Structure 1
């Protein structure tokens, strides 16, 4: 902690440095800070033009660390197209006060300025830009800023790299699982129709909740869990279940969200899988088929479009859960929603404690060697015990999710980190697991468990099932109609010369007509996972090139249009299959009800 305080103090001292003003031979202002000039004393405009032209990248967001005398910012601004932006990060407010009339600063559409030490604002803006530009970020450091503000510059560069890497993790996850999520989202309406909404269980408990995650440090707590199992509500995060069951521990609830086959593999060999299951609509459908106990559904906060669809089709507010990079992030918010009592984390290492990936018994368990360290780009962060521990960006993303959530709670609820190993999680109260049990887990609480699931059963009538069948069959028919429109559009494109395509007025009118009908058919939002990935891929794979001629422009638009319609058509074919699987399940339910 002292190191962080010292670093902050150094940065504060840096950014409060006094600014001396000189003028170049051309009469332009030149600023000196701590003996360093922020621009050339002789030809500042020529220097700025050279730096800007060397660093400008088409289709990128440009980040200028240090505004200097304003010349580089002005030159960069003059190069930007309407689709490009400039973020200026200037730590010294005294410098910015001298820039009131700088032309580029008045363009609020293209230019954003972060001044002083607004870390939260900087992080928020960076995340937004990195996502918008799909990691196409060009960083430029103004002359001598790394010498004038060495600590601030290092901190800013680390933050930019961190956000780029975290967005890469998020983007890879979206790309990898979009198809799984889409299939599950549609097919899981069959199970959602029979599940309890999380909202009905909110505040039903007053007992302690222990969240068990699968980090290596979980192993040392297993005996203590088993000994005190009837004194707290044990909520299991995802694949941790196997480690618990291998040690004769049956949790009181399990949270699972992952849609891939890998997640199903954690559960496929379970018999009598009746542990109450908290799940989101993206959960692998096969897990829900395997599970025969209480099912509790929740929505993921921030997924407004899908959440609205779920609530509308189920005819009640399901309840939103704040998540993050891991099922454990969701589990923490669920625990806080269920109980008014204390909540603690165990096995939440977020690091490779003792060079292990998971607790023993987890099917993903492995030992870490130098090859894996390099493959996963591992790095060191502050540890639970004040030491340094090895982590990677997926784990770091989970850690950030916890810290954002704890910051959101703002001590309205204390969360105890009883992992006794792994990464230090800012905002948690670190305490040994034994101390948590001695202080909060003094009485048997079996009665509370019975109360939790005694709420109204959400059993649907045949009329309800018939209505769901009608809605989903209608969505399937829309997909079939949309497929036909894609075929029409592709036929129009394939009649053009692929080497020298020309989009004349007649061709454009035909394509516009198909597009309008297509948008009307696909505006329900049910297929946002599939279409979102198609549109993202097309938009980022067919970017305008430097010095693009008319012929190059027409060919790029042609190839982009082909990729878009083909991508939509393939997605529609998959969606039709998912809808048919759901309709088959509903049909079986209707047969039962006859």
Structure 2
């Protein structure tokens, strides 16, 4: 690497890559490179998150700092080790330099991109970095898009299922003591091959292969979701576990004819409450919520959530120690122009449309149609598999005929069933009802949490109305510490801080997720340059806090009403 003076008085790095000298930015018009970066940040909001690819000589840093306020954060990824070594990691209080490593990039995106900022992210590749480091740039963009999509899906799920999540959670607390924690079965089926059954178009052929080799299936641990249970049972194949994670009543419809099946049903707190109530078989608990909120449940394991029940099935098979894990009906594509196999269709599917949106590679490297949602499921699975690529204990094999799944090479299921020999011996999941929670007490505690913050938000609203009615104009940075309006604002901010950090806000799940996202969007108009002025303005702050508390109070009341109605339906004892 060599630093060269540009024609317009700046400095640029010249590097040698693949036997060729390259300038990391325009040596003749470096000022234009800086201007393009600054123009990209036009309209920067007060808490925008900025990712940059390439620092070069750092000549743009001073102008970059002028665009920022204290709430902005900038992360610069530098792919050239010699350039990276020229700087400290902390370039300022809110500008950080990171050496480009793919794992680290993914980790940083996952840590910094949330539902609060998905619409407030800036990205720019400086100078010639996109061209010179095209491979690194493409991977960075892929991970950035993937992380934003995942964060956006949280908002979508919150908006769509917030009410049913509350109902299922409250009703399913009755079931917890009747279930065995999934972690009781860790490595219980070490080296036993598993067949994970999904509902893609390939399932019809996969089932034909299983039926032909039915006698071999006793050696395999078969895990299925609700949608594919009927297809298996009608073909004389009884799975070893059913996994049901979807909250909606369609899951009940899929399994209503098999409620007496003697197969353990794995569920989590938000699974359909009517299915859990009526299913007579043993139950296995996967905990996403209660293990973080209820004493005595800290050791109950969660599973990988990639958007589809198949991700949970695969992770459970892995948790049990199964290997190889055979993926059937796992198309992630519109194979044969179908979203689901014929054997996995139900009457309610006729109202759904699954139009092709993009093309990806199939198992033979040819283009195949899929949807954005299915493709995100595929990428989530590929990420999961990549986490185990250095662990030879577990192998993943794609026996479907749809999308290529990196890390899971394709093999014919018929060939594996016919010729496969495996050392592990299948062990059934024996029940152990060791959990002992008091659902009525837990629900009462949640209601007390709601009542407490209903009172607090009402108090905060009263203070907001006093400030707004007095209509005093003042800067909160210039008043005395004992100023009455400052004390009122500090009290309100304490209410906000307390509920946003209260572990019990997890119980209102989707409501709180949607609330935080919506409030962020409503407050998204404040530019970085106006941050100090507006956040210190008494009337501006009060108007925002008044709207915040009004929305929050309404949400808390709705959640309380939902809990009370669910309790009256599912509990005989008096809780509320």
**Band the TM-score falls in, shorter-chain normalisation:** 0.7 to 0.9
- Give TM-score scaled by structure 1 length: 0.79
Choose from 348, 360, 378 the match for 1:399.
378
Aligned-pair CA distance for 1:186: 3.0
Note closer, same or farther for the CA distance 1:356–1:108 as it changes in structure 2 (3 Å cut).
Answer: farther
1:313–1:264 CA distance, 2 compared to 1 (3 A)? farther
Deviation at 1:358, TM superposition (A): 1.2
Deviation at 1:357, TM superposition (A): 0.8
Please say if residues 389 and 422 of structure 1, whose CA atoms lie closer than 8 Å, have aligned partners that are also in contact. Answer: yes
- 8 Å CA contact 1:187–1:578 kept in 2: the answer is no
Give the deviation of 1:29 after TM superposition: 2.1
Distance of 1:444 and 1:92 partners within structure 2: 47
* Structure 1 residues 39 and 415: alpha-carbon distance in aligned structure 2, compared to 1, 3 A threshold: closer
Q: What's the offset of the Cα at 1:418?
A: 4.1
Tell me the SS of whatever aligns to 2:50.
Answer: strand
Where structure 1 has 5 or more consecutive residues not aligned to the other structure, the ranges are 1-18
Q: 2:512 matched to which residue of 1?
A: 531
**How many angstroms apart in 1 are the aligned matches of 2:327 and 2:373?**
19
How is 1:358-507 mapped onto 2 (pairs within 5 angstroms)?
Answer: 358-360=340-342, 361-363=344-346, 372-373=355-356, 378-409=357-388, 410-440=390-420, 448-449=427-428, 452-453=429-430, 455-458=431-434, 467-497=438-468, 505-507=483-485
Given that 1:356 and 1:367 are in contact with CA atoms closer than 8 Å, whether structure 2 keeps it comes out as no
Partner SS for 2:402: coil
Q: Deviations over 1:109-162 (max 9, x none)?
A: 42233435x222122223333326324222223233344444444444444334
Matched, 1:318 2:319: no
SS at match of 1:321: coil
Q: Calculate the aligned-residue CA RMSD, in Å.
A: 3.8
Take 2:351 and 2:562, find their aligned partners in 1: how far apart are those partners?
A: 39
Tell me, yes or no, if structure 1 residue 215 matches structure 2 residue 200: yes
- Indicate yes or no: 2:572 matched with 1:588: yes
Q: Secondary structure at the match of 2:393?
A: coil
Query: In the alignment, is the contact (CA less than 8 A) between 2:167 and 2:566 conserved in 1?
Result: no
Write the deviation string for residues 47-71 of structure 1: whole angstroms up to 9, x where unpaired: 5256414534223222222323322
Give the stretch that moved more between structures: 48-57 or 205-214.
48-57
CA contact (8 A) 1:385 1:420 kept: no
Structure 1 residues 372, 340: CA separation in 2 closer, same or farther (over 3 Å shift)?
A: closer
Pair 1:150–1:330, CA change in 2 (3 A):
closer
In the alignment, which residue of structure 2 is the partner of 1:14?
Answer: none
Cα shift at 1:332: 1.2
Is the CA contact 1:342–1:440 (under 8 Å) kept in the aligned structure 2?
no
**2:167 alignment partner, SS class:** helix
Asked whether the 8 Å contact 1:65–1:141 carries over to 2, the reply is yes
Q: Which has the higher helix share?
A: 1
The offset of 1:193, in angstroms, is 2.3
Partner of 1:72: 60
TM-score (structure 2 length as normaliser): 0.82
User: Deviation at 1:438?
Assistant: 2.2
| Contact 2:189–2:424 (Cα < 8 Å) also in 1 | no
2:552 to 525, 544, 568: 568
The answer as to whether partners of 2:201 and 2:338 remain within 8 angstroms in 1 is: yes
- 2:281 alignment partner, SS class: coil
CA contact (8 A) 1:231 1:441 kept: no
Q: Distance in 1 between matches of 2:526 and 2:435?
A: 57
Measure how far apart 1:442 and its partner are: 8.9
Which of 79, 95, 100 matches 2:87?
100
Answer yes or no: is the 8 Å Cα contact 1:208–1:441 preserved in 2.
no
Q: Post-superposition, which runs of at least 4 consecutive aligned residues in structure 1 deviate over 6 A? A: 366-369, 441-445, 498-501
- Cα distance in 2, alignment partners of residues 203 and 42 from structure 1: 63
Cα pair distance change 1:147/1:576, threshold 3 Å: closer
Deviations 1:16-35 (A, max 9, x none): xxx45432467542334556
Q: Determine if contact 1:416/1:431 at 8 Å carries over to the other structure.
A: no
Structure 1 residue 81 displacement after superposition: 1.4
Q: Which residue pairs with 2:487 in the alignment?
A: 509
Residue matched to 2:220 = 232
- Matched residues in 2 for 1:170 and 1:541: separation? 18
2:148 paired with 1:161: no
Q: Structure 1 residue 347: deviation in Å?
A: 0.8
Cα distance, 1:255 vs structure 2: 0.5
Unaligned runs of 5+ in 2: 477-482
Change (3 A) 1:509 1:162: same
Once the two structures are superposed, residues 52-102 of structure 1 have per-residue CA deviations (whole angstroms, 9 ceiling, x without a partner) of: 1453422322222232332224421332212212222333233334x437x
1:496–1:502 contact (8 Å) kept in structure 2: no
Q: Which residue of 2 aligns with 1:336?
A: 318
Aligned position for 1:3: none
Higher relative contact order (CA 8 A, sep 6+): 2
CA change 1:76–1:526 in 2 (3 A) is closer
Partner-residue secondary structure (3-state), 2:392:
coil
Q: CA 1:587/1:379 → structure 2, altered by over 3 Å: closer, same or farther?
A: closer
1:353 counterpart = 2:335: yes
Asked if structure 1 preserves the Cα contact closer than 8 Å seen for 2:166 and 2:563, the reply is no
Residue of structure 1 in register with 2:524 after alignment: 543
